[in-house]
Chain A
Amino acid sequence: MSEWAHKHVKNAFLRTLLIALLDVLYIARLGLSFESIGDNLLRFFETIGGVVWLFIRSLLFLGMPPYRLREILKQTDAAGWRSIPLIGAVLGFIGLIIVLELNFQLSRVVGNTAYVPGLAGILAFREFGPTVVACMFAAKVGASWAAEISNMKISEQIDALEMSSVNPVKYLVTPRLLASAAMLLALSAIGAAVAVLLGWFVSRQDFSFMAYFIMMSKFTRYADVGTLFTKALVFSPVVPVCAAWYGLRARGGARGVGEATTKAVVTSILLIIVLDFFLNSLADKLLKIVLE
């Protein structure tokens, strides 16, 4: 078709338009074929099953010596200490944005800003603390872990490990799992604290420092801090397991490394969001049952 357009349509503008239209139709057909839908479904189920199975395997290796403490500490440093600036910056902005937005919304809804600290504390501890920290952790640490593991896979270092009868899951994934669990707990606490503290700077005209926290303590309870740590603990295996899953399947040179990295990041962020939704709805149901 496009050759016909090239030959027979004389007007340059019309020709460009026609060719563009034909391209759109061609691309739309590519995306909508049954084959691609089936392919995507298969890949989806394969990923879910593979990730869960990899997680279970890396958990099974937790209790088996050698424990490789030095490797765990190295990963803790690389994952936790070096991502404090990123977490601090992002969660600081989020704290400022939360208070600005709540000021706007609550002054319309309730007519004053007395409840702003309470709501900001609830949102920071229950939602943005754990979830955004986990997403940023996936973007920074997950990307570097996926790149590292897929580089090892492509340069056949994984095969060398298997040749010397070392299990790559035990050697690579289990230390990262432990490091991620410890560091996500710490980073979530740091992130939520930064968000809450910086939130005060926006509402400092309405509240003094002490009044801000007293108002916050009227709504935010210890259970909310417990939610923060529970969520951080639940999200912690997502990043290392996704990075290892895509890293260990990488193939095809430098291109494979890039693909593994992007897929690991996107899959971990999606998994974190979906897990968060189900945790929230579960907690809501539990709360209702307890209240009744």
Chain B
Amino acid sequence: MEERAINLWSLGIFHLLGRIFINLGLLIEGIGARAIFLWQVVLKLAKRPFEVRELMLQLYLVGVRSLGIVAVSGFFVGGIIVIQFNYALGLFGARVYLGGVTTSGLLREVGPVLVAIMIAGRIGAFIAAEMGTMKVTEQIDAVRCLGLDPIPVLLVPRFLAVVTMVFLLTIFGLIIGLVGGAGTAWLLLGVNLSYYLTNLLKLTTVSALLLGMVKSFIFGILVATISCYEGYCASAGAEGVGRAVNRTLVYSSISIFLVDYIIAAIISITFTLAKSIIFTIG
């Protein structure tokens, strides 16, 4: 009895270690599979046949249909940020910088992440469900039987539509968010608009806007790749479709925040490096 217990215990440790290593391997394999998938799609971007009609339809479905949710969420998130920073900056009497800090934060961090999460929830999940259903009901195999490659016919229009529309919707959402923030500060918090705008131009630079745009482009590629991959490689059955949708949501939200952190870390390292160089020279 005692021997058996010891054996089980030692086995347990090795079992755990093995599971950890297997999961690490699966993680690397999954990232590699998605990267190869992305490369395949990119290779076929510029190849005939161009599905212009399908692309137009997807642009409409992704872009125009999401205007409402992006507008509503952008407006209210702009307001939320202003309310919180109004309280936080008021604690040490730096309310003069309210407009500048919130605008810069919205452009650099909050806007791109918010729009990417909303698009992942609405469009990414929809694409995963649609492609998964097509895969499960063997419609993708039917396309292949017709002598067509399913990647340029089905995936390239969706990929392009998501990447373009995340970029454009981020611009739209940022405008709405800035208006929402200024409106909240003016109407709800009673901050004078000229007071709000005092330090805005000093703190908000073109580089903040550019950084936001680069981020939204990268997030668009992430959301498009993950949703198309999960739909295209869904396993059989109705459960496979559900799992594809769930995985799309979880993986895209984790990867959006991960990439956002990586970009922020790179920017901060370069910022401190530049500062130290300037200080040592000057």
Contacts and interface: CB of A to CB of B under 8 A. Distances in A.
Contact of B268 (A89, A103, A276): A103
B72 A270 contact: yes
Most buried by B among A96, A259, A287: A96
B43 interface: no
Interface in B92-148: 92, 94, 97, 100-101, 104-105, 108-109, 117-118, 121-122, 125-126, 129-130, 132-133, 136-137
A273 B77 contact: yes
A262 B105 contact: no
Contact of A273 (B76, B241, B267): B76
B24 to A, nearest CB: 14
A87 B112 CA distance: 20
Interface stretch (A17-25, A51-59, A61-69, A160-168): A17-25
B209 interface: no
B52 A109 contact: no
Considering residues A24, A90, A262, A284, which has the most beta carbons from chain B within 10 angstroms of its beta carbon?
A262
Contacts of B130: 258
B221 to A, nearest CB: 18
Contacts, number: 175
Contact of B261 (A86, A93, A105, A147): A93
B84 A127 contact: yes
A104 interface: yes
Contact of A27 (B64, B87, B129): B64
B129 A261 contact: yes
Interface stretch (B152-160, B161-169, B245-253): B245-253
B238 A151 contact: yes
A260 B254 CA distance: 23
Given A24-B56, A97-B260, A261 B91 contact: no
B260 A276 contact: no
Contacts of B64: 27, 31
Contact of A101 (B105, B129, B246): B105
A27 B52 CA distance: 14
A123 B129 contact: no
Contacts of A152: none
Nearest to B60: A27
Contact of A280 (B83, B136, B264): B83
Interface in B26-85: 50, 52-53, 56-57, 60, 64, 68-69, 72-73, 76-77, 79-80, 83-84
B257 A144 contact: no
Measured as residues with beta carbon below 8 angstroms from the partner, the interface class of chain B is 35 or more
B150 interface: no
B104 A139 contact: no
Interface in A235-278: 254-255, 257-259, 261-262, 265-266, 269-270, 273-274, 276-277
Nearest to B84: A127
B271 interface: yes
A254 B136 contact: yes
B73 A273 contact: yes
A284 B261 contact: no
A184 interface: no
Most A CB contacts (10 A, CB to CB) among B118, B203, B257 go to B257
Contact of B83 (A19, A100, A284): A284
Chain B contact surface mostly: helix
Nearest to A141: B246
Contact of B250 (A105, A139, A259, A274): A139
B11 interface: no
A115 interface: yes
The 6 closest A-B pairs by CB, nearest first: A258-B129, A93-B257, A277-B76, A139-B249, A262-B125, A280-B83
Interface of B: 50, 52-53, 56-57, 60, 64, 68-69, 72-73, 76-77, 79-80, 83-84, 86-88, 91-92, 94, 97, 100-101, 104-105, 108-109, 117-118, 121-122, 125-126, 129-130, 132-133, 136-137, 184, 188-189, 203, 238, 241-242, 245-246, 249-250, 253-254, 257-258, 260-261, 264-265, 267-268, 271
Given A90-B254, A105-B105, A269-B121, 15 more contacts: A31-B60, A89-B254, A89-B257, A89-B258, A108-B203, A127-B80, A139-B121, A258-B133, A266-B122, A270-B73, A273-B76, A273-B80, A277-B79, A281-B79, A287-B87
